[in-house]
């Protein structure tokens, strides 16, 4: 009887040891495999595609942060510097001034600054006071009536990188994507074009100015990164048999 139990115990112990060793090897294998996958890319962060964004306002309300990590950005190279800015003023404004009742922005985060007057036209610069912006997208919808230079972006110095972004779940057009951390942003295709053109122009006109040449090259690279990402997205979505909603160009 005694011998029986101890041999049973030995068998059990041996089985446990074997299973444990197998598990350790399996875990090591899985770790190695995943680490290999890692070398194919780099950490991913959440970002939204402004071409897909409809300014629904979910970014302001669904973010787990009290003050959303999504903020408005102005691409000045797409901006008309309009006096009557549809992103700045309420549809039925009383006067073209900075009074709160005339502003579209609920927090006064869009700052209007006079630049110059040329042949009877007054031009204003519109910048975002980032700490005030709540990412409601009201100005984005307004601006979309004209040039669409105002667009939303996840600010990665604020974003806590939830494993599943709560805004991405709620987003009605599924505009949120995981992108490589170094890419930081997703530009509108139009912005990609104008920034790329500006980069090329700067490089052309730089002459002896090495600093300007470098800045131009950086800008061009920024635009090219966007193009590469878009191409990757397109090939990925055609690989899964079907293009995404907005993936086709004219």
> Least distance (Å) from other proteins to the CB of residue 160?
6
Biggest alpha carbon distance in the chain? Answer: 108
State which residue, 87 or 101, has the beta carbon closest to other proteins. Answer: 87
Q: How far is the CB of 136 from other proteins (least distance, A)?
A: 14
Question: CA-CA distances (angstroms) from residue 88 to 35, 67, 118, 128, 145?
Answer: 48, 21, 21, 11, 12
**Rounded Cα gap, residues 84 and 229, in angstroms:** 35
User: Which C-beta is closer to other proteins: that of 100 or that of 239?
Assistant: 239
**Distance between CA atoms of 38 and 19, rounded to whole angstroms?**
28
Residue closer to other proteins by CB (options 41, 207) is 41
Nearer to other proteins, 146 or 217 (CB): 146
SS3 category, 121: strand
Nearer to other proteins, 32 or 94 (CB): 32
Closest CB 17 distance from other proteins, rounded Å = 8
**Closest approach of other proteins to the CB of residue 157, in Å:** 4
Residue 103 or 153 having the CB closest to other proteins:
153
DSSP state of 95: S
| 198, 55, 170, 245 alpha-carbon torsion, rounded to 10° | -60
- State the minimum distance, in angstroms, from the CB of residue 19 to other proteins: 4
Contact in structure between 60 and 68 (CB atoms under 8 Å): yes
Q: What's 94's DSSP letter?
A: S
CB of 228 to other proteins, least distance (A): 13
Closer to other proteins by Cβ: residue 32 or 99: 32
- CA–CA separation, 207 and 200 (whole Å): 13
> From the CB of 110, what's the least distance to other proteins, in Å?
14
Q: What SS3 class is residue 29?
A: helix
Residue-level length of the chain: 250
Q: If residue 177 lies in a helix (H) or strand (E), which one and from where to where?
A: strand 176-180
């Amino acid at each position: 009887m005694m011998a029986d139990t101890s041999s049973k115990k030995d068998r059990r112990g041996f089985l446990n040891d074997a299973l444990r060793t197998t598990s350790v090897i399996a875990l090591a294998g899985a770790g190695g495999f995943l680490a290999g996958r890692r070398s194919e890319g780099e950490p991913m962060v959440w970002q939204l595609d402004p071409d897909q964004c409809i300014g629904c306002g979910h970014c302001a309300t669904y973010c787990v942060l009290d003050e959303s990590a999504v903020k408005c950005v102005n691409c000045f190279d797409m901006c008309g510097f309009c006096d009557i800015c549809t992103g700045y003023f309420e549809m039925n404004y009383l006067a073209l001034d900075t009074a709160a009742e005339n502003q579209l922005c609920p927090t006064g985060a869009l700052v209007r600054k006079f630049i110059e007057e040329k042949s009877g036209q007054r031009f204003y610069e519109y910048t975002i006071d980032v700490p005030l912006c709540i990412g409601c997208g009201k100005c984005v919808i307004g601006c979309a009536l004209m040039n669409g230079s105002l667009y939303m972006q996840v600010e990665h110095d604020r974003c806590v990188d939830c494993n599943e972004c709560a805004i991405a779940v709620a987003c009605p057009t599924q505009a949120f994507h995981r992108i490589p951390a170094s890419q930081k942003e997703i530009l509108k295709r139009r912005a990609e074009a104008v920034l790329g053109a500006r980069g090329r122009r700067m490089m052309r006109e730089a002459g002896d100015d090495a600093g300007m040449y470098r800045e131009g090259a950086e800008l061009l690279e920024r635009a090219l990164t966007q193009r590469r990402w878009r191409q990757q997205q397109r090939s990925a979505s055609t690989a899964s048999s079907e293009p995404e909603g907005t993936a086709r160009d004219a």
